[in-house]
Amino acid sequence: MRFPGAVLIVPLCIAAFACIAAAEPQTLSARLEDNQVLVTVDGKLFTAYKFAHDQKYPYFWPVNGPLSGQSVTTETSEPYPHHHSLFFGCDRVNGGNYWQDANARGQILSQTPRIIRDSGERIIFTDRCLWKQPDKDPIMEDRRWIVISAPDPETRIIDFRITLNPLVDIEIQKTNHSLFSARVMPALSVASGGTLINAEGKTTEKGTFAVASPWCDYSGTRDGLTEGLAILQSPANRWFPAKWFTRDYGFFSPTPMYWLEGDKLNLPKGEPLSLAWRVIVHAGDHTSADIAGRWVEYVKWTEQMTQRRPRRSRNATP
Contact by Cβ (8 Å): 155, 282? yes
Q: What pLDDT sits at residue 308?
A: 65
What is d(CA 11, CA 224) in angstroms, rounded to the nearest whole number?
42
Contact by Cβ (8 Å): 100, 48? no
Q: How far is CA 38 from the centre of its chain?
A: 17
What is d(CA 129, CA 158) in angstroms, rounded to the nearest whole number?
19
What is d(CA 36, CA 151) in angstroms, rounded to the nearest whole number?
24
Q: What is the pTM of this model?
A: 0.89
What is d(CA 297, CA 300) in angstroms, rounded to the nearest whole number?
5
Of 51, 19, 20, 58, residue with least CA distance to 35: 51
Going from the C-alpha of 285 to that of each of 154, 158, 244, the distances in angstroms are 11, 18, 20
pLDDT 10s digits, 228-266: 999 999 999 999 999 999 999 999 999 999 999 899 999
Domain 25-284+297-307 in CATH 2.30.30? The answer is no
For the cut 60, the answer to whether the pLDDT of residue 3 exceeds it is no
Q: What pLDDT sits at residue 309?
A: 52
Residues of the chain with pLDDT > 90, as a percent, come to 83
Q: Where are the alpha helices (DSSP H) in the chain?
A: 204-208, 291-307
For the cut 60, the answer to whether the pLDDT of residue 73 exceeds it is yes
Question: Within a 10 A sphere around the Cβ of 264, how many other Cβ atoms?
Answer: 13
For the cut 90, the answer to whether the pLDDT of residue 34 exceeds it is yes
- Residue 48 pLDDT level (bands cut at 50, 70, 90): very high
Spans of all domains in the chain:
25-284+297-307
What is d(CA 6, CA 81) in angstroms, rounded to the nearest whole number?
35
Evaluate the omega torsion of the peptide bond into residue 79 and state whether it is cis, within 30 degrees of 0. Answer: yes
- Residue 301 pLDDT level (bands cut at 50, 70, 90): confident
User: If phi over 0 gives left and psi between -120 and 50 gives alpha, with beta otherwise, what is residue 92?
Assistant: left
pLDDT 10s digits, 162-184: 999 999 999 999 999 999 999 99
Contact by Cβ (8 Å): 254, 243? yes
What average pLDDT is seen over the chain? 90
